[in-house]
Amino acid sequence: MTSTRFGVGVIGTGMAAKPHALSLKSLEDRIDVRGVYSRTAEKRSAFCAEYGFPEAASLNALVDDPDVRAVILITPPNQRTELVDRFAAAGKHILMEKPVERTRESARKIVETCEQAGVELGIVFQHRFRQASQVLAKLIASGDLGAIALARASVPWWRDQSYYDEPGRGTYARDGGGVLISQAIHTLDLMLSMTGPVSDVQAVAGTTPLHAMEAEDFVAGGMRFKSGAMGSVMATVAAFPGEAESITLYCEEGSAHLQSGTLTVNWRDGRTETFGETAAGTGGGADPMAFPFDWHRDLIMDFVDAVESGRAPSVTGREALRVHDLIDALIASSREGRAITILNGD
């Protein structure tokens, strides 16, 4: 008998799986976890025992299950393409951890694969679902703050060397890069969702003496947006002990400072308003998973609602290509020592 709940399969049981698992447990009246698969049987069994989920003995078990309407991919980026090809061909909708893939070209292919198969592709940019983020998005969309003149994004995070001692972490082969594509991508995506796309960047990127890793742990750059606004970005995982990430928008009618889960708006008429949580960690310190799971819960529920109602999810794969464009341009600018114009902008 077909379940009345929305059936999902979960692939991947690593560090990033915890908020997904907690979210799915809290949504079990709406979502039926049909099976969890990972390549390591012991980890899979331990994960399923901890959260009370059934194990999937193979990927085929999820592909062939007619009650699996979507899969949640929580694997490293280098494992995405084959999985997307397989599940999209089977007509399964896909909700996938960021980034889409390691390179912009590979990410584009994944997006096109899902579009051609007629399945939804959602990307886990959970920072968009924080209360303060949504208040700011509404203030920008409504025009209350006026046009954005200047944007500033800062991600002063910390990761201990032990974080990069895990095989593959911080490498181009597995992750596709360092601080930009693995950590700052959340803040950059959130910024772009409010400012619109970037047209030009000039940046410097590198690895500080605090880390032994292949990719960058520091990036700073200037940006020109297609709207005509200017901006800057600084991202690092070398800022011990780690501070909250922030986005500041300087607009015609005031400024908005979004730091972690709190939004402060300073209006030109003298008013000051504060929205959101007063203390909400986002994983900027030694513990990468030190943040609540409710943002993931709301994102997952948005994805399920989108599939059931026939609309696109709030964060689509194609929209996520914009942050890949920006990351690629920042790195290219540093490598080539010149300003880079972003041409794609899907």
Sequence spans of domains, the chain: 6-127+298-316, 128-287+321-341
Residue-wise pLDDT tens digits, 236-295: 999 999 999 999 999 999 999 999 889 999 999 999 999 987 555 555 555 555 558 999
Please give the pLDDT value at position 113.
Answer: 98
Query: 6-127+298-316: which CATH architecture?
Result: 3-Layer(aba) Sandwich (3.40)
Q: Which CATH number applies to 128-287+321-341?
A: 3.30.360.10
Contact 36, 47 (CB under 8 A): yes
Strands 230-236 and 93-97: unpaired
Spatial separation of the C-alpha atoms in residues 208 and 218, rounded to whole Å: 7
Please give the pLDDT value at position 1.
Answer: 42
- Give 339's contacts (C-beta < 8 A, 6+ positions apart): 200, 201, 202, 333
Tell me, rounded to whole angstroms, the distance of Cα 337 from its chain centroid: 28
Low-confidence ranges of the chain (pLDDT < 50): 1
Cis peptide bond prior to 241, omega within 30° of 0? yes
Spatial separation of the C-alpha atoms in residues 166 and 8, rounded to whole Å: 29
- Topology alike, domains 6-127+298-316 and 128-287+321-341: no
Residue-wise pLDDT tens digits, 304-325: 999 999 999 999 999 999 999 9
